């Protein structure tokens, strides 16, 4: 899947903008704050989605890793603002930006299935963070992916946090979590 994603990215012209307009806000639970991510390499770029959410009156945030094996925190972000490397080297909002508790978390992935399975990068940051957020209240987890990243089945372990839906360059996929 690591080899496939760069090919999908190269073939998906203007994918981020197309995906942003496929998001059916009326089908999502109510939310005020959404966390996106800083795309690295061939990850699907969520910037157009963040811009749409901000235009719709939502607060956008980016994750900040405080350690290599801990949970993420989220800080308010607007596209174009200055970022600085976090504990794992990913560009993130500086400590001066306010913390945000998102009700919608947009996550990157290598692959997904129609049952909510997600194959991430393997660090476990999102699984730990989503487990903590879900223990405190409702959070909707939206995978952002190229349509070609859909696979038949992702083996899930007890600690893996499932997706609620996936947004691709060709549409929105509500997932069956069974």
19 is a domain residue: yes
| Per-residue pLDDT band at 6 (split at 50, 70, 90) | confident
Angle at 25 between CA 134 and CA 120, to 5 degrees: 45
136 is a domain residue: yes
Structural domain boundaries enclosing 39? 4-103+118-174
**Ranges assigned E (strand) in the chain:** 33-35, 59-65, 72-76, 84-85, 91-92, 104-107, 111-112, 118-119, 140-144, 165-168, 171-174
135 is a domain residue: yes
13 is a domain residue: yes
Residue 114: half-sphere exposure toward Cβ, Cα within 13 Å? 2
Domain count across the chain: 1
pLDDT for the residue numbered 48: 95
- The answer to pTM > 0.85 is yes
Closest CA to 25 of 63, 66, 54: 54
Helix (H, G, I), strand (E, B) or coil at 153: coil
With a pLDDT cut of 70, the percent of the chain lying above it is 98
The tens digit of pLDDT for each residue in 41-92 reads 888 999 999 999 999 999 999 999 998 888 999 999 999 999 999 999 999 9
Angle at 72 between CA 69 and CA 77, to 5 degrees: 145
- In this model, does residue 10 exceed pLDDT 90? no
- In this model, does residue 103 exceed pLDDT 60? yes
């Amino acid at each position: 899947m690591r080899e496939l994603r760069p090919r999908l990215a190269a073939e998906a012209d203007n994918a981020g903008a197309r995906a942003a307009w496929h998001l059916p806000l009326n089908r999502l639970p109510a939310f005020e704050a959404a966390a996106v991510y800083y795309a690295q390499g061939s990850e699907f770029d969520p910037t157009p989605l963040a811009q749409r959410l901000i235009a719709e009156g939502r607060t956008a945030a980016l994750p900040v890793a405080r350690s290599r094996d801990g949970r993420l925190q989220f800080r308010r972000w607007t596209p174009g603002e200055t970022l600085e490397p976090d504990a794992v080297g990913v560009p993130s909002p500086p400590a001066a930006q306010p913390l945000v508790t998102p009700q919608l978390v947009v996550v990157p992935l290598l692959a997904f299935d129609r049952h909510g399975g997600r194959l991430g990068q393997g660090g476990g940051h999102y699984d730990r963070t989503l487990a903590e957020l879900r223990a405190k209240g409702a959070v909707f987890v939206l995978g952002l992916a190229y349509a070609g990243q859909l696979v038949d089945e992702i083996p899930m372990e007890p600690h893996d946090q499932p997706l609620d839906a996936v947004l691709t360059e060709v549409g929105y996929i509500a997932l069956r979590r069974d």
